[in-house]
Structure 1
Amino acid sequence: MMSSSNFASVPVAVITVTRKPTALLLFEKWRTVSHVRQIHAHVIKTNLLTDPLSVAKLMKAFSESSNPNEAISLYAQLLNSCFQDLRVIQFSVPSVLKACANSLAFEEGKQILGFVYKTHLWFDPFVTNSLVRMCMEVGQLALAREVFDKMPVRDLVSWNSLITGYVRFGEIEIAREVFDKMPHRDLVSCNAMIDGYGKHGMCELAEQVFNNMSQKDVVSFTSMISGFILDHRPGKGLSLFREMLCLGIRPDAPAIVNVLSAIADLGFVEEGKWIHSYISMNKIHHMSSFVGSALINMYAKCGQIENAYHVFRSISQRRNVGDWNSMLSGLALHGLGDEAIKVFQDMEREGIRPDDITFLGLLSACNHGGLMEEGQFHFETMQLKYKIVPKIQHYGCIIDLLGRAGRLEEAIGIIHDMPLEPDLLIWKVILSASMKHNNFVMGKTAALRAIKLAPQDSSCYVLLSNIYAKAGMWDEVTKVRSVMKKRRVKKIPGCSSIFVDGKIYEFLVGKAMDVKYNQSVVSKLEEIVHKLKLEGYEPDLNQVLLDIEDHEKVNQVTLHSEKMALAFGLLNIPQGIPIHIVKNLRICCDCHTFMRLFSKIYNLRIIIRDQNRFHHFAEGSCSCRNHW
């Protein structure tokens, strides 16, 4: 068994006395390791070290402190103090096992396991369950299962400890086997499976478990909402949140954060405003934990950067680095580079130390704002002033910034010099820049590199096909499509959505998903096109990279999904109200020109969130200043 020489010396007094309520009360007030040490000294001074409850509370306090090793040290001292009464040890074992787990002290935990196995403690489920949890926490899954299989007494906690451990380490199939064998299940076991399935892309299985539960709590709903978001079904997550409220289940902070994330993905602010009102009316402290940051993020992603900034200012007394990061990312999304730099300067003045996420938002803002010199300056500041090592995402921002400006040779030079292997995003950035600046050779190389890294990513093939099409190499276009078909890679269709009267309406090229609106939308769009042509609009046929006749190209480009959504919005949104559209892909040059001219002729604001950023169209101009 472990020796006291292996641990820091802890003085021990062995005098049996009765409990003292004053001493026990101190355990409820500890805040730091220093406090716990003072309580420890008090326990020794008042002869409470042989009292099982006092020792157990002291051990628990140490195990949950910033230095859990002190719990292990105290336990070693107790063993060496010649206690004949195992009650003190019995009450302490679960806490010291937690300390072993928290400090990853497996060898000490293994020794405790051997001690427990040789004593009557082996028949105490509270102790043996702690052993299973400890083994799982330190990654000893096989040993945890061995302990579980040999346990003389198992209860619901035993089964749940095993399932939770398997889920944590991604052993979902084994967790399900255990789940199916359980004689009884409760919320903990079901929630563990829902969480595991959701985080590992098995949302349908998570939904099966959720639907079969006879009782659900806030954790069940929160895990399921999170699963829907990860499965790219934010609308389903939002519906589930409403169902939770109808059942009278009060959402906690994680539930609020998840539903705000779902709304941010959908991009429709009215739902977000409703959640914000719910937070205020129910006096949920939205400026604590991550709720404030989630509100900032939601408003920014829904196109309401002013509201995002209002929330940001309202938490001025409690802002943490996460709040600053959310604000910077929001400004980046809207291409407000100068404003992002000012926010960053305020952050520095307030003494908040930026992290790598801070600089990712800042560099992204410089990128979307076309601020070349500023972006390069802050890239150097990150490394020289704050000693932050750039990640692949930071390099991606700088490479994208150079690529958009046509400085492709410099961008390639950074790729060659950086200490990291270029990832898919890097090659897509080069590919996009090559398309924009008509560099066929570099674009083809980047496309082939991207396809090698992600053979199932349809966008890589589409961009390569577009490069060949732009060069008039139609045989090569056919070959690319043949490869896609052989590999069963499907092109993601352009889809635009618009939120009207509490409902989401979706449009693909040339059609509304709800067919009853199709003819009226097409007719309205024809009317808009006619009016814009009178003002000089001509469809940009270069955006149709297909070997078809010009009149067919006109039809293709005229019926792009964002134009369909715009026509629907004009038909159904009250006059003068800005039209918000969300698109899953990057807006094309023709649609961008179309929206600018529309905003001038119809004197109406349009806000489009595409795959990369926001575009605010007003009075014939766009907030991106044609830099996207």
Structure 2
Amino acid sequence: MVTTAVSPLMLVTQTLPMLEKCKTITELRQLHAHIIKTNLVNHTSTITKVISLWSHHGGLHHALSVFHRIQDPDPFIFFSLVRQMSESSSPIEAIVFYAHMLSSLKNLDGVEFSLPAVLKACGKSRALEEGRQVHGQILKTQFLFDPYVANALLRMYSELGQVYLAQRVFDKMPQRDQISWNSLITGYLRVGEIELAHGLFNEIPERDLVSCNAMIDGYGKSGKCELAEEVFRTMHHKDVVTWTSMISGYVCNHHPKEALGLFREMLNQGIRPDAPALVSVLSAIADLGFVEEGKWVHTYISTNKIKLSSGFIASALIDMYAKCGHIENAYHVFENISHYKNIGDWNCMISGLAMHGLGHEALEVFLDMSRKEIKPDEITFLGLLSACNHGGLGYQGRYCFELMQEKYKLVPKIQHYGCIIDLLGRVGKLEEAVDVIQNMPMEADVIVWKAVLSACTRHSNVAIGESAALKAINLAPEDSSCYILLSNLYAKVGRWDDVGKVRLMMNQRGVQKIPGSSSVLVNGTVHEFLVGKEMNVKHSVEVRSKIEEVVCRLKLEGYKPDLSQVLLDIEEESKENSLILHSEKMALAFGLINRSKGAPIHIVKNLRICHDCHSFIKLVSGVYNCRIVVRDQNRFHQFKNGSCSCQDFW
């Protein structure tokens, strides 16, 4: 019987297609054994494919074990491993292996195929010095004329923040393609050089999806929403990244209505939002403070079976519900997270409870977190200190402040000190608050001094208040609230001449007072009111009439306007008329006119609610038998049956 020998070429022709179809590690083991038996281990294409498959299925360790059995590996086998290592979680190994390759190969022909991968590894490993050494090799060997190598070098410098070195590479490139332009634009955006990126973007021969998306993201992060919109509206093709970048830009620049509108437009266009888009739009809804849109997004997430673990969606939902006044819904999401709760979920829950003045509940969540051995971070303790602050829990606040340092070895930041100082000020321990400031390891910022000044206004301490105001104004001469707090302090103690001097100083410096603004959601439409006048409401006479009706009814129940809240030297009748036109009262009146039976009224105010409005709304909740939720600058107030969840401590 005569046997026919199979030629090496035929073996390769038979084996390579089988390697291409290989799907499991069992199949790979069988094919590898076949390659060893048929002596194909020295065939470059075959063994390179085997190494690539072992790297994918069994990890780099298995791939290297195959490599070390090859007697005389060529540059292409080295290239395969360098590329696999550059994509791994330890890209520094690619740089070490590349150095080993250079010392092992007798002939460096084909080494240029490994250069893009090793440059990528340098970028990912933050290995600037090694990258510059590879750059030197490229200059000596003239590989800069290879567009793949040149682009990889340009991208590496851009990723490492060395944009001026990237620019030098760009300028010396004999040929530039779209990747070259996009890499340099992205590099400039990464280090915040928005004007240089803008100039390149205007010079680019052809704007593609990558360059447009990069500029939208860059413009948004640098506060140039108008330029981002201009690019967005001129794009013929948009992907999910385009929409997400524009929505995120609106959110970052405090345009939540525009972000929500664009999200609706995105869905109408049939674009399925990714996790970052959902997180951004939930953040926008949280800023607006109205829950119905948030519930719709939550339903969308559930209907489309989007995992809450994707891109911090669970944290965003908890945050949204808390900021919309629905802390029960926030807690329901928190309790029903099926995956392992990350630190962000815990922090959002604690911060949400803090916002609602639920200090004891926030401490309970922290204890549960400790029992589950989740290590807290600085944000955890910021939420806890805020919870103690809003709940008037002085002892617990100090305990948490000591705990973060002694047990968890966390160094307090200015925000943590600010919470402790604010807590001391609220309970009238102003001298102790000043002592904390003097012993801090950092200089106090304007927020700290404003906390002291606000406490001084509450407790009529002019001496400390004037000192705090001077420091606050020096740190933030354009911040109107510094002047207003000082003016309010003087007005409270009847120093009207000093009130006039503060107002004159504001006029001379061109500082404008931020007007009080309140919004209420009625029939899916947001209605906004400014102090002293109605906005976006046609029925202004009806609103004013309703306020007067409510005031009359409340006076029968013992309501007396708190005229001390009008910090102007005017007649008492004028003071009472001024109080009537506070924005939250107008929003409440409009809500009472249009509310559905049994439905709560949700109001969002941009400043801190005043004492008179707080007393007024408490009475309304009892007399009119309705639940009223007010989110002011500091926290939530849940009014029901004539009382408030803050227990008059805010």
Taking structure 1 as the reference length, what is the TM-score of the superposition? Answer: 0.94
From 394, 406, 417, the counterpart of 2:428: 406
Corresponding position: 1:45 with 2:36:
no
Residue 26 of structure 2: aligned partner: none
Residue 219 of structure 2: aligned partner: 197
Contact 2:150–2:173, Cα closer than 8 Å, also in 1: yes
Quick one: distance in 1 between partners of 2:382 and 2:607? 22
From 258, 269, 273, the counterpart of 1:236: 258
Q: How many correspondences in the alignment?
A: 609
Q: What does residue range 509-524 of structure 1 map to in structure 2 within 5 Å?
A: 509-524=531-546
Structure 2 CA distance for partners of 1:327 and 1:29, relative to 1, 3 Å:
farther
308-317 or 295-304: bigger deviation: 308-317
Corresponding position: 1:432 with 2:454:
yes
Deviation at 1:16, TM superposition (A): 6.4
Corresponding position: 1:603 with 2:625:
yes
Tell me the SS of whatever aligns to 1:153.
Answer: coil
Deviation at 1:79, TM superposition (A): 1.2
Contact 2:460–2:493, Cα closer than 8 Å, also in 1: no
Residue 292 of structure 2: aligned partner: 270
Residue 3 of structure 1: aligned partner: none
Residue 84 of structure 2: aligned partner: 61
Contact 2:74–2:105, Cα closer than 8 Å, also in 1: no
Quick one: distance in 1 between partners of 2:514 and 2:194? 30
Tell me the SS of whatever aligns to 1:548.
Answer: coil
Contact 2:75–2:105, Cα closer than 8 Å, also in 1: no
Deviation at 1:46, TM superposition (A): 4.7
Residue 78 of structure 1: aligned partner: 101
From 28, 51, 64, the counterpart of 1:23: 51
Deviation at 1:37, TM superposition (A): 3.5
Q: What does residue range 276-287 of structure 1 map to in structure 2 within 5 Å?
A: 276-287=298-309
Quick one: distance in 1 between partners of 2:332 and 2:106? 62
Tell me the SS of whatever aligns to 1:358.
Answer: helix
Deviation at 1:55, TM superposition (A): 3.3
Corresponding position: 1:350 with 2:372:
yes
Deviation at 1:597, TM superposition (A): 0.8
Deviation at 1:36, TM superposition (A): 2.4
* Residues 214-253 of structure 1: CA deviation (Å, up to 9, x unaligned): 2212111111111111221101000000011111111000
Q: What does residue range 10-409 of structure 1 map to in structure 2 within 5 Å?
A: 17-20=44-47, 21-29=49-57, 35-46=59-70, 49-50=73-74, 52=76, 54-87=77-110, 89-409=111-431
Residue 517 of structure 2: aligned partner: 495
Tell me the SS of whatever aligns to 1:130.
Answer: helix
Tell me the SS of whatever aligns to 1:581.
Answer: strand
Quick one: distance in 1 between partners of 2:509 and 2:81? 62
Structure 2 CA distance for partners of 1:214 and 1:467, relative to 1, 3 Å:
same
Q: Which residue identity does 1:569 align to in structure 2?
A: G
Q: Which residue identity does 2:56 align to in structure 1?
A: E
Contact 2:520–2:602, Cα closer than 8 Å, also in 1: yes
Contact 2:78–2:101, Cα closer than 8 Å, also in 1: no
Tell me the SS of whatever aligns to 2:307.
Answer: coil
Quick one: percent identity of the two aligned structures? 60
Contact 1:136–1:162, Cα closer than 8 Å, also in 2: yes
Residue 581 of structure 2: aligned partner: 559
Contact 1:194–1:206, Cα closer than 8 Å, also in 2: yes
Q: Which residue identity does 1:68 align to in structure 2?
A: P
* Residues 503-537 of structure 1: CA deviation (Å, up to 9, x unaligned): 11000113221241211111111111111010000
Q: Which residue identity does 2:55 align to in structure 1?
A: F
Quick one: distance in 2 between partners of 1:499 and 1:46? 72
Contact 2:465–2:486, Cα closer than 8 Å, also in 1: yes
Which protein is bigger by CA-based radius of gyration?
A: 2
Contact 2:347–2:383, Cα closer than 8 Å, also in 1: yes
Q: Which residue identity does 1:25 align to in structure 2?
A: L
Contact 1:17–1:47, Cα closer than 8 Å, also in 2: no
Residue 22 of structure 2: aligned partner: none
Quick one: distance in 2 between partners of 1:469 and 1:492? 18
Residue 647 of structure 2: aligned partner: 625
Contact 2:161–2:190, Cα closer than 8 Å, also in 1: no
Tell me the SS of whatever aligns to 2:615.
Answer: helix
Tell me the SS of whatever aligns to 1:460.
Answer: helix
* Residues 342-372 of structure 1: CA deviation (Å, up to 9, x unaligned): 1000001111111111111111111111111
Residue 5 of structure 2: aligned partner: none
Contact 1:17–1:51, Cα closer than 8 Å, also in 2: no
Deviation at 1:472, TM superposition (A): 2.4
| Aligned-residue RMSD, C-alpha | 1.6
* Residues 387-408 of structure 1: CA deviation (Å, up to 9, x unaligned): 1111111111111111111111
Contact 2:52–2:81, Cα closer than 8 Å, also in 1: no
Q: Which residue identity does 1:346 align to in structure 2?
A: D
Corresponding position: 1:471 with 2:493:
yes
Quick one: distance in 2 between partners of 1:238 and 1:49? 57
Structure 2 CA distance for partners of 1:290 and 1:217, relative to 1, 3 Å:
same
Structure 2 CA distance for partners of 1:332 and 1:22, relative to 1, 3 Å:
same
From 476, 494, 498, the counterpart of 1:454: 476
Q: Which residue identity does 2:259 align to in structure 1?
A: G
Q: Which residue identity does 2:78 align to in structure 1?
A: V
Q: Which residue identity does 2:639 align to in structure 1?
A: F
355-364 or 510-519: bigger deviation: 510-519
Tell me the SS of whatever aligns to 2:360.
Answer: helix
Contact 2:54–2:60, Cα closer than 8 Å, also in 1: no
Contact 2:527–2:537, Cα closer than 8 Å, also in 1: no
Contact 1:17–1:48, Cα closer than 8 Å, also in 2: no
Residue 24 of structure 2: aligned partner: none
Taking structure 2 as the reference length, what is the TM-score of the superposition? Answer: 0.91
From 586, 601, 613, the counterpart of 1:579: 601
Quick one: distance in 2 between partners of 1:48 and 1:38? 18
Q: Which runs of 5+ in 1 are unaligned?
A: 1-13
Q: Which residue identity does 1:264 align to in structure 2?
A: A
Tell me the SS of whatever aligns to 1:388.
Answer: coil
Contact 1:16–1:50, Cα closer than 8 Å, also in 2: no
Quick one: distance in 2 between partners of 1:405 and 1:200? 40
Deviation at 1:85, TM superposition (A): 4.5
Deviation at 1:474, TM superposition (A): 2.4
Tell me the SS of whatever aligns to 2:392.
Answer: coil
* Residues 536-570 of structure 1: CA deviation (Å, up to 9, x unaligned): 00111100101211111101111110110111111
Structure 2 CA distance for partners of 1:215 and 1:387, relative to 1, 3 Å:
same
* Residues 582-605 of structure 1: CA deviation (Å, up to 9, x unaligned): 000000000000111111111111
Deviation at 1:445, TM superposition (A): 1.1
Corresponding position: 1:541 with 2:569:
no
Quick one: distance in 1 between partners of 2:94 and 2:261? 46
Quick one: distance in 1 between partners of 2:514 and 2:256? 18
* Residues 118-161 of structure 1: CA deviation (Å, up to 9, x unaligned): 33522222211111111122222211101001101111010000
Deviation at 1:336, TM superposition (A): 0.4
Contact 2:522–2:594, Cα closer than 8 Å, also in 1: yes
